[in-house]
């Protein structure tokens, strides 16, 4: 904890002149000034004057602001006070909230997406928009308009004759390295599956992080991605590296992430607009269901699957969903390096793979194989399992590793994991009945994951019987202090692992 | 419009060290750092480093931040990065949004009000709270808890044996100078009515602004206010000058004002918590109803009146409501000086008063007189009218003017109005059927009201027949440019005044 000596700030925010509106950590609740240059205008909320840095008639602008106004050093801009301004979109949003039966028209949704993309809405206004989505049902037509408007905000890939397949998970389950098995299985039969994945936002590892732990490059231009996908059928790239659906970025950063909310219409539009931009035609959707995921129970999962399939029909993508068990981690490994090891081990020898990982990967891949007509309905999973077992999926994965500039002969043991470890022992004998994903995720993140790729958790026992004192799981970190912080997470609230017959509380 | 020469900003927001978190114009979406000193902690979102101002180990703090931490110049503070933090209250708010049937407990509401008051919630979180109130019905028990929790956040006045009466308007109608008549009518019969009023936020004049236009002091300490009220029975003070219900201020400034939203549970709690703090026992509530007000129709008005009366019962205040016509301005004058003139004229000689002003004032005062048992039910308005007509109300108002350090013998013509004027003429003959409050308010504010006390609008014709070319109303301002801006408001959208038989559009 760095220490500083206090002096009274010589900067008075009430003074005028250096303008900064681009600070990610702050948002303007009320634009107080408008900067203008040759007809372009930018609203700003903050104006500082630093006499030690600037002369009386000078204004210091950040590079981002200069680009926004199209102004260069030495030119003159005007600065003007403005009153309270409410975006046009916000009036529409208030109407939908207050007028019974009101739903958005296509033009209204276009206006809102445009205002989000062009930074005409404040985060406060955006949070009202998102909150209303948590409380008001959207028609599928509105979701369609939102999806299409967002898809138009960025680039769209033209694949020519190539038919694009994809797999997407709604997330919320730790250890979900399923993509690393599904992509090579699908590509191994000659289908094209250019998968784009995110880095972890709130989880211990995103698929993009796990690929990096394998030594892969994950940032590609669209041309590079198309080239690899056309040549070998599959790759796993980082979504953030491509300029697809920029409308997403600002609202996620300013509102969804800080509040931890992801309402259904926005979530559906966010997923499917990216698929439209990517040119996807067949999509298998993984809907994890259960404690800690976005979908509390099977009925909610089925309803969501139905809405996705309807949305897909409206935008020209065939979508089938697999509702999967999400209350426990997938496989035994959590964290980038540990998950990379487990995925590679499973591809090389499926007999060494955890049942939950192989089962989930082959069932999702099976759905895609059936959708593609590669096999008759009901036999997809068997076919996927055969592709995995035969080593064809591993061979395809080696091509992917090579295309993404990693070592195709990488061994699982070559992937280094944290040297600071802590073993969590069974407090009594019995049967493991529950693993609390939220506690496990907090501990893995406290240990350093995903930034520390070597940090994470490895389960030795999941749905097994254990004897008192046996190791349930091992915590890994590159840093002793972080390991201690992760240990602290394990004892402060709910139990990470519950064993049948345990007395949970006595009061 | 001041012009500035652009230079590239020499301040990189990514650098560390001057901390400012108190900037009203910005809000922290995500606290990025925690400053701590002797166990006290303050979250901050913004850290700048200015090498020209500070040495390497120095940190510049604003005075507000230094007070918050209890630190003085030269002492050492620590600065630490923090992850995403979501307030305890926000988890409760999310639960109420996502869990069917969930309502808040008293403890949960206490937690939320405490988090708002102590600045533990971000404006983004607060906006989710307010938006959910627009879409989810609150039980009256929840509103009661919210009201009581807010009342506890500030001072409460002890009046001893004195019974306190009050009048409150939910607002939304321009020209509503009714308080200036009701207070002296009630005080004239020996009742105590220490009225606190706000300055205009979005209207052309608040009651506090109008009192200032009469030359009155409006800022009093609680002791001064109690003293005046005990001596002469009434006064009209500015709410902002008293430290009652501070929980209100932050959320209004950060969220309600920028978004222009005022959801029912928060609005009810805001009104009634101030009445609790003021020690009010009998309250007449003015619920203006109609286009442009908060209440769209009579049914909504009745429902709201019922909820207020129920809430009053739960917190020990007897509340009766008058649902009033709110689609046109009250009286003929809009803007501080013009309204002050009209109120004073009406008190001096009720025969010169506009019907709408006298009618509304006496009916609301009549309800209070009946509640106080000063007259039998059904005769309150008659009694109020008699007090006004007899000059007793004017005599009481002269005492109020004197107590608030104004000239008790002030003449209406002494109150100066703007010298820049514009006359709006009837475009055709007919009957005035509609005055558009929103257009009128925009024009009066563009003319300078309420900051320019002399700015405003005076109607020569309201529900009258007019001849083409007759003056419908006069715009006043102290400033020719602002007058021109106000004129522009009159022609850019809807018509300010509609005359029967007008062809509104031909397309």
Query: Is the backbone peptide bond immediately before A208 cis, with ω within 30 degrees of 0?
Result: no
A429-433, A451-455, B384-388, B445-449: least confident range: A429-433
- List CB contacts (< 8 A) between B73 and chain A: 6-8
Alpha carbon of residue B145 to chain centroid: 22
Region A160-178: mean pLDDT is 94
Residue B345: partners with Cβ closer than 8 Å, 6 or more residues away? B352, B353, B412
A101 to chain B, any CB pair closer than 8 A? The answer is: no
Please tell me the distance from the alpha carbon of residue B26 to that of residue A322, in angstroms, as a whole number.
Answer: 44
CA–CA min distance A199, chain B (Å): 17
Closest CA to B185 of B226, B112, B236: B236
SS (H, E, C) B361-391: HHHHHHHHHHHCCCCCCCCHHHHHHHHHHCC
Predicted local distance difference test score (pLDDT) of residue A76: 85
How sure is the predictor about A306, in pLDDT bands with cuts at 50, 70 and 90? very high
Asked about B262 being catalytic, the answer comes back as: yes
Predicted local distance difference test score (pLDDT) of residue A504: 60
Beta bridge partners of A456: A476
Region B350-363: mean pLDDT is 92
Predicted local distance difference test score (pLDDT) of residue A53: 59
CA–CA min distance B38, chain A (Å): 12
- List CB contacts (< 8 A) between B80 and chain A: 1-2
pLDDT tens readout for residues B309-333: 999 999 999 999 999 988 889 999 9
Helices A88-98 and A123-135 meet at what angle, rounded to 10? 20
Task: Check if the beta carbon of residue B71 is closer than 8 Å to that of residue A4.
Answer: no
Residue to substitute from B4, B8, B250, B485, interface A, most A β-carbons within 10 A:
B4
Q: Among A115, A262, A286, A436, which one carries the catalytic annotation? A: A262
pLDDT tens readout for residues B184-229: 999 999 999 999 998 887 889 999 999 999 999 999 999 999 999 9
pLDDT tens readout for residues A228-265: 999 999 999 998 878 777 667 778 877 888 888 899 99
Residues 221-280 of A with CB under 8 A from B: 254-255, 257-261
Residues 25-54 of B with CB under 8 A from A: 25-30, 32, 45-46, 50, 52-54
Task: Check if the beta carbon of residue A425 is closer than 8 Å to that of residue A379.
Answer: no
pLDDT tens readout for residues B218-273: 999 999 999 999 999 999 999 887 877 766 777 887 788 888 889 999 999 999 99
Predicted local distance difference test score (pLDDT) of residue B132: 97
A2-6, B88-92, B342-346: which has the highest mean pLDDT?
B342-346
Cα distances (Å, whole numbers) of residue A389 to A204, A245, A357, A374, B226? 29, 37, 14, 17, 87
- Regarding an ipTM greater than 0.85, the answer is no
Region B83-109: mean pLDDT is 89
Interface contact A29-B255, CB threshold 8 A:
yes
Interface contact A5-B63, CB threshold 8 A:
no
Region A378-392: mean pLDDT is 96
User: Is the predicted pLDDT of residue B100 greater than 50, yes or no?
Assistant: yes
Instruction: Please report how many Cα atoms fall inside a 13 Å half-sphere around the Cα of residue A120, on the Cβ side.
Output: 14
Task: Check if the beta carbon of residue B188 is closer than 8 Å to that of residue B396.
Answer: yes
Q: Is A63 exposed, middle or buried (0-12, 13-18, 19+ CB in 10 A)?
A: exposed
CA–CA min distance A213, chain B (Å): 23
Region A417-446: mean pLDDT is 92
B22 to chain A, any CB pair closer than 8 A? The answer is: yes
User: Is the predicted pLDDT of residue A197 greater than 80, yes or no?
Assistant: yes
Share of chain B above pLDDT 70, in %: 86
User: Is the predicted pLDDT of residue B275 greater than 70, yes or no?
Assistant: yes
How sure is the predictor about A19, in pLDDT bands with cuts at 50, 70 and 90? very low
pLDDT, greater one: B57 or A168:
A168
How sure is the predictor about B24, in pLDDT bands with cuts at 50, 70 and 90? very low
Interface contact A17-B4, CB threshold 8 A:
yes
Task: Check if the beta carbon of residue B7 is closer than 8 Å to that of residue A54.
Answer: yes
Number of A/B CB contacts below 8 angstroms equals 246
- List CB contacts (< 8 A) between A75 and chain B: 5-6
Closest CA to A476 of A495, A505, A456: A456
Interface contact B131-A1, CB threshold 8 A:
no
How sure is the predictor about B14, in pLDDT bands with cuts at 50, 70 and 90? very low
Interface contact B26-A28, CB threshold 8 A:
yes
A97 to chain B, any CB pair closer than 8 A? The answer is: yes
How sure is the predictor about A13, in pLDDT bands with cuts at 50, 70 and 90? very low
Please tell me the distance from the alpha carbon of residue B486 to that of residue A156, in angstroms, as a whole number.
Answer: 48
Q: Among B209, B248, B262, B436, which one carries the catalytic annotation? A: B262
Closest CA to A291 of A504, A440, A465, A443: A440
A81 to chain B, any CB pair closer than 8 A? The answer is: no
- List CB contacts (< 8 A) between B13 and chain A: 20, 22-23, 62
- List CB contacts (< 8 A) between A73 and chain B: 6-8
B84 to chain A, any CB pair closer than 8 A? The answer is: yes
Interface contact B127-A132, CB threshold 8 A:
no
Task: Check if the beta carbon of residue A44 is closer than 8 Å to that of residue A31.
Answer: yes
User: Is the predicted pLDDT of residue A24 greater than 50, yes or no?
Assistant: no
How sure is the predictor about B152, in pLDDT bands with cuts at 50, 70 and 90? confident
- List CB contacts (< 8 A) between A485 and chain B: none
How sure is the predictor about A56, in pLDDT bands with cuts at 50, 70 and 90? low
How sure is the predictor about A319, in pLDDT bands with cuts at 50, 70 and 90? very high
How sure is the predictor about A7, in pLDDT bands with cuts at 50, 70 and 90? low
Residue to substitute from A2, A8, A9, A95, interface B, most B β-carbons within 10 A:
A9
- What is the edge-to-edge ordering of all strands in the sheet holding B497-499? B465-466, B430-435, B497-499
Cα distances (Å, whole numbers) of residue A440 to A341, A426, A446, B188? 19, 15, 10, 71
Region B435-445: mean pLDDT is 92
Predicted local distance difference test score (pLDDT) of residue A502: 64
A485 to chain B, any CB pair closer than 8 A? The answer is: no
- List CB contacts (< 8 A) between B255 and chain A: 29, 124
* Residue among B13, B79, B94 minimizing CB distance to A4: B79
Mean pLDDT of chain B: 87
A44-53, A242-251, A311-320, B329-338: least confident range: A44-53
Residues 442-481 of B with CB under 8 A from A: none
- Terminal Cα distance for chain A, rounded: 39
pTM of the full predicted structure?
0.82
Closest CA to B304 of B276, B326, B330, B335: B326
pLDDT tens readout for residues A79-101: 776 655 678 899 999 999 999 89
User: Is the predicted pLDDT of residue A23 greater than 70, yes or no?
Assistant: no
* Residue among B26, B28, B134 minimizing CB distance to A46: B26
User: Is the predicted pLDDT of residue A176 greater than 60, yes or no?
Assistant: yes
A135 to chain B, any CB pair closer than 8 A? The answer is: yes
Predicted local distance difference test score (pLDDT) of residue A208: 95
* Residue among A8, A53, A132 minimizing CB distance to B73: A8
A44-53, A122-131, B78-87: least confident range: A44-53
Predicted local distance difference test score (pLDDT) of residue A12: 42
Predicted local distance difference test score (pLDDT) of residue A215: 97
Closest CA to B294 of B494, B486, B126, B134: B134
User: Is the predicted pLDDT of residue B349 greater than 90, yes or no?
Assistant: yes
* Residue among B74, B132, B258 minimizing CB distance to A6: B74
Beta bridge partners of A44: A33
Strands A58-61 and B3-8 come out as: parallel
Which domains, and CATH codes, for chain B? 18-81 (no CATH), 88-136 (no CATH), 164-243+269-403 (3.40.1030.10), 417-499 (3.90.1170.30)
Helices A392-403 and A380-389 meet at what angle, rounded to 10? 70
Residue to substitute from B1, B2, B6, interface A, most A β-carbons within 10 A:
B6
pLDDT tens readout for residues B297-313: 888 899 999 999 999 99
Mean pLDDT of chain A: 87
Q: Is the dihedral of CA A148, A153, A157, A161 positive or negative?
A: positive
Predicted local distance difference test score (pLDDT) of residue B189: 98
How sure is the predictor about A290, in pLDDT bands with cuts at 50, 70 and 90? confident
Task: Check if the beta carbon of residue B387 is closer than 8 Å to that of residue B188.
Answer: yes
pLDDT, greater one: B420 or B507:
B420
Q: Is A235 helix (H, G, I), strand (E, B) or coil?
A: strand
Q: Which helix (H) or strand (E) holds B65?
A: helix B63-69
* Residue among A9, A30, A254 minimizing CB distance to B60: A9
How sure is the predictor about A26, in pLDDT bands with cuts at 50, 70 and 90? very low
């Amino acid at each position: 904890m760095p220490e500083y000596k206090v002096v009274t700030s010589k900067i008075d925010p009430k003074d005028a002149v250096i303008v900064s509106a681009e600070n990610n950590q702050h948002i303007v609740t009320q634009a107080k000034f408008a900067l203008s240059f040759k007809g372009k205008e930018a609203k700003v909320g903050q104006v500082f004057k630093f006499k030690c840095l600037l002369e009386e008639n000078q204004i210091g602008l950040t590079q981002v602001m200069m680009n926004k106004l199209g102004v260069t050093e030495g030119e003159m801009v005007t600065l003007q006070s403005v009153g309270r301004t409410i975006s046009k979109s916000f009036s529409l949003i208030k109407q939908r909230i207050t007028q019974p039966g009101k739903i958005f028209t296509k033009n209204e949704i276009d206006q809102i997406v445009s205002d989000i993309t062009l930074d005409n809405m404040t985060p406060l206004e955006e949070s009202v928009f998102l909150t209303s989505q948590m409380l008001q049902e959207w028609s599928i037509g509105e979701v369609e308009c939102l999806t299409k408007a967002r898809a138009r905000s960025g680039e769209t890939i033209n694949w020519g004759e190539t038919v694009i397949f994809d797999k997407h998970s709604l997330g919320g389950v730790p250890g979900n390295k399923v993509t690393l098995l599904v992509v090579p299985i699908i590509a191994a039969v000659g289908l094209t599956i250019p998968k784009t994945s995110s880095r972890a936002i709130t989880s211990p590892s995103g698929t993009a992080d796990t690929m990096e732990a394998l030594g892969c490059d994950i940032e590609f231009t669209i041309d590079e991605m198309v080239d690899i996908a056309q040549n070998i059928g599959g790759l796993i790239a980082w979504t953030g590296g491509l300029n697809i659906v920029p409308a997403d970025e600002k609202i996620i950063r300013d509102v969804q992430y800080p509040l931890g909310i992801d309402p259904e219409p926005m979530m559906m539009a966010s997923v499917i607009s990216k698929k439209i931009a990517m040119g996807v035609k067949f999509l298998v959707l993984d809907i994890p269901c259960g404690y800690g995921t976005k979908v509390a129970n099977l009925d909610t999962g089925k309803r969501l699957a139905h809405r996705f399939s309807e949305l897909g029909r409206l935008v020209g993508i065939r979508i089938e969903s697999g509702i999967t068990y999400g209350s426990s981690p997938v496989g035994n490994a959590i964290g980038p390096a540990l998950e990379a090891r487990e995925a590679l081990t499973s591809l090389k020898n499926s007999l060494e793979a955890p049942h939950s990982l192989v089962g989930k990967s082959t069932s999702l891949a099976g759905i895609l194989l059936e959708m593609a007509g590669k096999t008759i309905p009901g036999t997809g999973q068997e076919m996927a399992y055969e592709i995995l077992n035969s080593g064809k999926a591993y061979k395809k994965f080696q091509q992917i590793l090579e295309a993404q500039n990693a070592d195709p002969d990488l061994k699982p043991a070559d992937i280094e994991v944290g040297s600071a470890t802590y073993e969590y022992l069974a407090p009594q004998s019995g049967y493991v009945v529950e693993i609390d994903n939220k506690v496990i995720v907090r501990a893995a993140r406290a240990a350093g994951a995903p930034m520390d790729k070597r940090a994470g958790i490895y389960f030795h026992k999941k749905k097994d019987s254990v004897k008192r004192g046996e190791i349930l799981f091992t915590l890994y970190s590159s840093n002793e202090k972080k390991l201690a912080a992760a240990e602290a997470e394990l004892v402060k609230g709910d139990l990470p692992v519950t064993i049948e017959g345990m007395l949970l509380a006595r009061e």
